[in-house]
Amino acid sequence: MVWTATDASGNTATCAQTVIITDNQPPVVNCPANIEVKAQSQIGAIVNFVATGSDLCGDVTLSYSQESGTVFPIGTTTVNVTATDEADNTATCSFTVTVKDIECIEIGVCGKSVVVELLPQRVRTTTVYRGYLNTQAIINTISSNCGVAVSNLNIQFSKTIFTPQDWGNQNVVTVTVTAPNQNPVSCTFNVIVRYPLKSGDLFASSDGFDITGNLDLDMQIFPNPTAGKLKIELYNLNDPRVSAVVYNTNGAVVFHQELTTEGQIEIDLTGKVSGLYLLRIVADKREFLEKIILQAK
């Protein structure tokens, strides 16, 4: 810039001035929102994104701590973006890229129901009933698409053994499957625990039970209705082992006894809620199902 001074006589003098304009205003940089994707392989996923930058005095150059279009590992990675203008002023922003573990395990039994039957087992001088979950059948529903054989998976069940106290269909079991270097995958399924009734299964009816096709034994049950104590007379048994189970209408066991006897058995339901019950007697590889009415005293 040149300055000129002129007096009243028209004489002039000049001088020059240098004006330096400095850009000290940082540019503007805008990062994308946090990104969440599923892994495309066991390594991670290729992630694409766009950040923008601007400046009032010229162009802006963007640099990234990890470039768009590259492979991001499983987990969360923070990406830092730096915008630099022509005067070397900078501004930064950051966002995260989360790559979720690949879902390589599928469990076919999830949300379904399976049946476990209670079978007699001789323990010393007593017969007890146990039911075992067919874990191999559950494992057969599991598939892996992450390059790991099912035989190399870690598979755990929350419960595999059932007793008469589990009778009914309110048994929720959790199965957890873990592949090497993967997060566990879990789900639940329902287990219906029942006796293998030769005379047909138990189905809901208006009064709570529906009994069909009893295989009668040489027995008598009295009194029925009862105020609490119920007597059962059994005769002409080839095998003295007897199982007596009483269920309420919800299928819960309220009385269960395994004994070796012939003659009279006494069942005491005193103190139980009055109403309908089911008596199941198993002897000589036969069974008897009878509705029992418990009257209030």
CA–CA gap between residue 260 and residue 239 (Å, rounded): 9
Q: Please list the residues that pair with 99 across neighbouring strands.
A: 37, 75
Could you give the percent of the chain with pLDDT greater than 70?
88
Residue-range domain boundaries for the chain: 26-100, 105-194, 219-294
Sheet holding 241-247, edge to edge: 253-260, 241-247, 275-283, 286-294
CATH of the domain spanning 219-294, picked from 3.40.50.1970, 2.60.40.3080, 2.60.120.590, 1.10.8.50? 2.60.40.3080
pLDDT digits (tens, 9 = 90+) for 200-221: 333 333 344 444 334 456 778 8
Contact 115, 194 (CB under 8 A): yes
Tell me the HSE value of 84 on the side-chain side, using a 13 A CA sphere. Answer: 6
Q: Tell me if domain 26-100 and domain 219-294 are identical in fold.
A: yes
Average pLDDT over residues 139-165: 86
pLDDT at 208: 40
pLDDT at 106: 86
CA–CA gap between residue 288 and residue 129 (Å, rounded): 17
Contact 107, 150 (CB under 8 A): no
**CA-wise closest residue to 137 among 180, 170, 107, 105:** 107
Q: What is the pTM of this model?
A: 0.42
Q: Domain 105-194: give its CATH code.
A: 2.60.40
**CA-wise closest residue to 74 among 108, 106, 53, 47:** 47
Per-residue burial over 91-128, b = 16 or more CB atoms within 10 Å of its CB, e = otherwise: bebebebebebbebbebebeeeebebebebeeeeeebb
How does residue 91 score in pLDDT terms, banded at 50, 70 and 90? very high
pLDDT digits (tens, 9 = 90+) for 12-51: 888 888 877 777 889 999 999 999 988 877 788 999 999 9
CATH class of the structural domain 26-100: mainly beta
